A and B are shown apart, each in its own frame.
Chain A
């Protein structure tokens, strides 16, 4: 049974009957701990509907992880300045008081991380951590919470779940730990799941298992998911929509299929072209992006990608481009989308099955 393909009508932009579950407008995040303030996120607009999976793709310094963590307000308040507006459901995330924030985390939105060993407490069995989380948010007895934990473990397909509930994190293998972390994240039935590179550290065969599990859980529970990764392949496996980030901004956003087949932003094009894949001729060189990412404490006035862009013109360096609507649900921040239209990216061959 294949996924229904994403027709242009099915995706929406801001003017829709159903309000998005996650609505981020003009988010800015500046870190003030160092000598110069670092603008990690520079005006991000993102909407996620209920039951939708959005992947945030980018490289180091793009701001994708910072954006994700802002949704749970995980940055140290003293050294972080956040601006803009973030709504999740009916919560105004930036305005939550500390106690409201503690209720919001885990209950409304929850997160899974790249390295479970760092996210799970090493001195408690995994089952105990799940029970603790459930009882923090809901008024249930220990026995009921224990039962819920068991059900969660079964849900995430951990074999011998009763036994594993008593296990400590270090006693579990990598894939199982990741599943345990997913179980912990889903313990209080959140409506939004945030995933920060959850499969990056996993072996290929385990990665595909976890990606499929996430898709299945998301479908069954109707979760909204924001999935951050640098691996485009993983994003394509799970996401309905993909947003590409560069230097703290979303530079292109659209349905997964459109973005992969018809990317229009020069950075997206370059990123797809520089991937090593089977269709390349042996001995040929990869097409790389010259230059280096910009210094986030000294962003240029114009488009942040201009100095590395093959299509850049003078106008690009003077003012930052606003999003251009290319098709319903597909937009790119670029002045030169007409020029990039003509370029066909290399279509990668599907993996042998």
Chain B
């Protein structure tokens, strides 16, 4: 392995098989697959997604069918494995069918905020100077509001309904994502390889596209996935307050609201939608934690 006496013909290097290494994301994927906790969480998330898609088909009973005779039946009641709610609807079916809406309310605002927040944050981080100040201080104004308060205020102003809650939740999540994006971009911007790219005469757009995006989107994405759980809880909260989903749609937060009165008579039933929110939040959080660990590849 003589590294110094260069005898290779420089003109044409044969196009034979080159030793490839797995790309960055493949390496991350491999590490993630070996993380047992993250994989367990991933299975749970997968199950939830299946429920979200196929819920209506898999549900044993009609989630909308009310029956005043079968109100608030306990767990294990005949024909209703998880009991019934205050209108006599089968709870198991409502929980299963409710997955779709609950997950939708959790994931969609985060996805939208990811795009918008990253755009703002990356531009601010890369530009620096007055533009950065202008953008980030505006973001700070929104960031200063507690998220629940902001969500409620916006929802209230826009009016109840799913679309409006989605909009207000997106607005709530843009500031934290933008802050993370700006912070990561500023770090990357100071690295020598970005300086080297500037030194080779590349323009700002090229540098951002080739050098910055690949390095910042990962960490921002990981942060965003940790917000999914929060989004679900906030959406549930909005529904709980009557600002989000309208009855009789099954959605876990709404179900928590309407089952409130049953806490004294059937506490287990009343807690069940909360359990679903809890399980989903934990699964997403563990998955995003695992993703973050997998992405910390040291040389």
Contact, chains A and B (beta carbon distance below 8 A): yes
Q: By the criterion CB–CB under 8 Å, are A291 and B1 in contact? A: yes
Contact with A along B1-36 (1 / 0, CB 8 A): 111100000000000000000000000000000000
Within 8 A of B (CB), among A205-234: none
Within 8 A of B (CB), among A310-352: none
A288–B4 CA distance with the chains assembled, in angstroms: 9
User: Chain B contacts of A292 at CB under 8 A?
Assistant: 1
A291–B4 CA distance with the chains assembled, in angstroms: 10
User: Chain B contacts of A290 at CB under 8 A?
Assistant: 1-4
Least CB separation from A285: chain B residue: B4
User: Chain A contacts of B3 at CB under 8 A?
Assistant: 290
A68–B2 CA distance with the chains assembled, in angstroms: 33
User: Chain B contacts of A288 at CB under 8 A?
Assistant: 4
Number of residue pairs A-B, CB distance < 8 angstroms: 7
Contact with B along A65-80 (1 / 0, CB 8 A): 0000000000000000
B: contact size bracket: under 10
User: Chain A contacts of B2 at CB under 8 A?
Assistant: 290
Within 8 A of B (CB), among A271-327: 288, 290-292
Q: Which label, helix, strand, loop or mixed, suits the secondary structure of the B interface?
A: loop
A292–B4 CA distance with the chains assembled, in angstroms: 13
User: Chain A contacts of B1 at CB under 8 A?
Assistant: 290-292
Min Cβ gap A266→B in Å is 18
Least CB separation from B4: chain A residue: A288
User: Chain B contacts of A291 at CB under 8 A?
Assistant: 1
Within 8 A of A (CB), among B87-139: none
Contact with B along A24-66 (1 / 0, CB 8 A): 0000000000000000000000000000000000000000000
Min Cβ gap B2→A in Å is 6
A292–B1 CA distance with the chains assembled, in angstroms: 9
A122–B30 CA distance with the chains assembled, in angstroms: 38
Min Cβ gap A293→B in Å is 12
Least CB separation from A290: chain B residue: B2
A288–B1 CA distance with the chains assembled, in angstroms: 13
Least CB separation from B1: chain A residue: A291
A275–B1 CA distance with the chains assembled, in angstroms: 22
Min Cβ gap B31→A in Å is 12
Min Cβ gap B7→A in Å is 14
A291–B3 CA distance with the chains assembled, in angstroms: 8
User: Chain A contacts of B4 at CB under 8 A?
Assistant: 288, 290
Contact with A along B155-195 (1 / 0, CB 8 A): 00000000000000000000000000000000000000000
Least CB separation from A308: chain B residue: B1
Least CB separation from A292: chain B residue: B1
A34–B165 CA distance with the chains assembled, in angstroms: 48
Least CB separation from A307: chain B residue: B1
Min Cβ gap A164→B in Å is 32
Least CB separation from B3: chain A residue: A290
Most buried by B among A288, A290, A292: A290
Min Cβ gap B181→A in Å is 29
Least CB separation from A291: chain B residue: B1
Min Cβ gap B299→A in Å is 13
Min Cβ gap B298→A in Å is 11
A290–B4 CA distance with the chains assembled, in angstroms: 8
A278–B2 CA distance with the chains assembled, in angstroms: 27
Within 8 A of B (CB), among A135-190: none
Least CB separation from B2: chain A residue: A290
Within 8 A of B (CB), among A83-128: none
A290–B2 CA distance with the chains assembled, in angstroms: 6
Min Cβ gap B121→A in Å is 29
A292–B3 CA distance with the chains assembled, in angstroms: 10
Min Cβ gap B177→A in Å is 31
A252–B2 CA distance with the chains assembled, in angstroms: 26
Min Cβ gap B226→A in Å is 27
Min Cβ gap A33→B in Å is 12
A290–B1 CA distance with the chains assembled, in angstroms: 8
Least CB separation from B5: chain A residue: A290
Min Cβ gap A9→B in Å is 44
Min Cβ gap A73→B in Å is 24
A288–B2 CA distance with the chains assembled, in angstroms: 11
Which 7 A-B residue pairings sit nearest by Cβ, starting from the closest?
A291-B1, A290-B2, A288-B4, A292-B1, A290-B3, A290-B1, A290-B4
Can you name 7 A-B residue pairings with CB atoms under 8 Å? A288-B4, A290-B1, A290-B2, A290-B3, A290-B4, A291-B1, A292-B1
